[in-house]
Chains A and B, each alone.
Chain A
Amino acid sequence: MAQPDNIIKDVKWEGKTAIVEATGDIDLHRSNNFQQALQQVLKKKPEKMIINLADVQYMDSSGIATLVKLLSNTRKHKIELAIAGANKRVQSVFEITRLNSVFNIYDSLEQALQK
């Protein structure tokens, strides 16, 4: 299935919160693009980042690795990080790697914004 070129379809700002809207599959083929795009958002120094995965159908360990790197960077710069909207399959990847207790994961973007 053809995937959009850019894994991040939009970055919205609510005050100093960056809402990163990801799309498509995050796998070996596209995780570099994901990582580079996240670095661009980090450079804008948000106070909080929400990665909205509602439009992501699939994520493998390279996607997880990208998010672990992001977590490390956000902790270093005291930026709050939240993951939102992951479907059941993507949630199961966090669970099987036991990273569901390491990330702040919310069922929806609305919930992530309220916290």
Chain B
Amino acid sequence: MTAKDQKLDISIKSDPAVLGDVRQQVDEFVTSAGYDEVTAGLIMLSLDEALTNIIRHAYKGETDKCIEIELKTEDNELKVNIRDFGCQADNAKIRSRDLEDIRPGGLGVHIIHECMDCVEYSPSECGRGTLLKMKKKLPR
């Protein structure tokens, strides 16, 4: 990490009511990292979609479970790690759907992959839940 690299840790409950506050903190962080308005918005959207998926699928709508978010700029990249402790995601089932099929739902994974350069899901080291790692090159 260089002197200008930054780090932000956020710990939240799996309550949709807190998503607005998280977005505000993420928006400030990625904007200060130098992204333009639209790109900063898309990064914020990716993180929000990931949290939505955790609340809906890993925690099945329970609002008192823990989610840990880490953002950092390092090696000329923005790195976002999101950890949950709920039902583990089946990697084979986490994929985008055909966008030609105009129907509600199932767009979150597509949005995450479109907005970020690298997306990896892996089981949490603690044996419960999933660690999502996302990366995006920093603007010049």
What would 17 more interface pairs be, CB under 8 Å, given A25-B23, A68-B103, A97-B110? A1-B21, A25-B20, A28-B19, A28-B52, A29-B16, A58-B41, A61-B52, A61-B107, A61-B111, A64-B107, A69-B104, A72-B103, A88-B38, A89-B42, A93-B111, A96-B114, A97-B111
Q: What range describes how many residues of B lie at the interface? A: 20 to 34
Indicate whether B108 reaches chain A with its CB closer than 8 angstroms. Answer: yes
Consensus secondary structure, chain B interface: helix
Q: Which 8 residue pairs spanning A and B have beta carbons closest together?
A: A65-B104, A89-B41, A29-B16, A61-B107, A68-B104, A28-B16, A28-B52, A98-B99
Per a CB cutoff under 8 Å, which of A3, A65, A102 touches B107? A65
B9 within 8 A of A: no
Q: Which residues of A contact B (CB under 8 A)?
A: 1, 3, 25, 27-29, 58, 60-62, 64-66, 68-69, 71-72, 88-89, 92-93, 96-99, 102
Residues of B bordering A, CB below 8 Å: 16-17, 19-21, 23-24, 37-38, 41-42, 44-45, 48-49, 52, 55-56, 99, 102-105, 107-108, 110-111, 114-115
Docked Cα-Cα span, A97 to B101, in Å, equals 11
Contact status A66-B24, CB under 8 Å: no
A97 neighbours in B (Cβ, 8 Å) = 99, 107, 110-111
Complexed CA–CA distance, A88 and B38 (Å): 7
Within the complex, the shortest CB–CB distance from B28 to chain A, in Å, comes to: 12
Q: In whole Å, how far is B2's beta carbon from the nearest beta carbon of chain A?
A: 30
Inter-subunit contact A92/B108 (CB<8 Å):
no
Nearest residue (CB) in B for A27 is B19
- In the complex the two chains form, is A102's CB within 8 Å of B108's CB? no
Residue of B nearest to A64 (CB): B107
